[in-house]
């Protein structure tokens, strides 16, 4: 009887282990969001100066990256606003900064995009923040 009683326990442990390993392969929601943003806010022809780095701090996270483009700020802000319209709401747009917010169940994502001029091209600094909401 001992062997029969341990079989369901062994099966349950096996199922739990498989479930745990399957969960390890799930995509990282924040990494996916950053990849999505890169596609939506980096204009054609822009090159990375600094690639995104995601930093987690307890229940919050942030990432920064920078790229260069030859687009002027007015053209760029219009293009970005159009590309983000379905997912992010604009909070503020100014002469050198734009801010957007996305609310999801349990999370808030904020995005700040800032223009900086370098000697040859416009540099765009992107800051992403995620926190409970």
Q: Is the pLDDT of residue 12 over 50?
A: no
Tens of pLDDT along 18-53? 444 444 556 688 999 999 999 899 999 999 999 998
Task: Give the mean pLDDT of the chain.
Answer: 84
Spatial distance between the Cα atoms of 59 and 106, rounded to a whole number of angstroms = 11
Q: Model pTM?
A: 0.77
Whether the CB-CB separation of 112 and 96 falls below 8 Å is answered with: no
Q: Which range has the worst mean pLDDT, 7-21, 24-38, 58-72?
A: 7-21
Nearest Cα neighbor of 31 from 3, 75, 63 is 63
The confidence band for 132, taking pLDDT boundaries of 50, 70 and 90, is: very high
User: pLDDT band for position 93 (50/70/90)?
Assistant: confident
* CA–CA gap between residue 79 and residue 95 (Å, rounded): 15
């Amino acid at each position: 009887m001992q062997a029969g009683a341990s079989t369901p326990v062994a099966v349950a442990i096996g199922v739990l282990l498989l479930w745990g390993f399957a969960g390890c392969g799930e995509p990282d929601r924040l990494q996916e969001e950053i990849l999505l943003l890169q596609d939506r806010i980096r204009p054609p022809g822009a090159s990375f100066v600094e690639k995104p780095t995601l930093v987690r701090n307890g229940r919050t996270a942030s990432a920064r990256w920078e790229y260069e483009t030859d687009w002027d700020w007015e053209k760029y802000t219009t293009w970005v606003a159009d590309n983000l319209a379905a997912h992010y709401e604009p909070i503020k747009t100014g002469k050198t900064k734009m801010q957007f917010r996305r609310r999801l169940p349990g999370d808030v994502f904020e995005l700040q995009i800032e223009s900086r001029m370098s000697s040859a091209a416009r540099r765009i600094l992107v800051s992403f923040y995620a926190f409970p909401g």
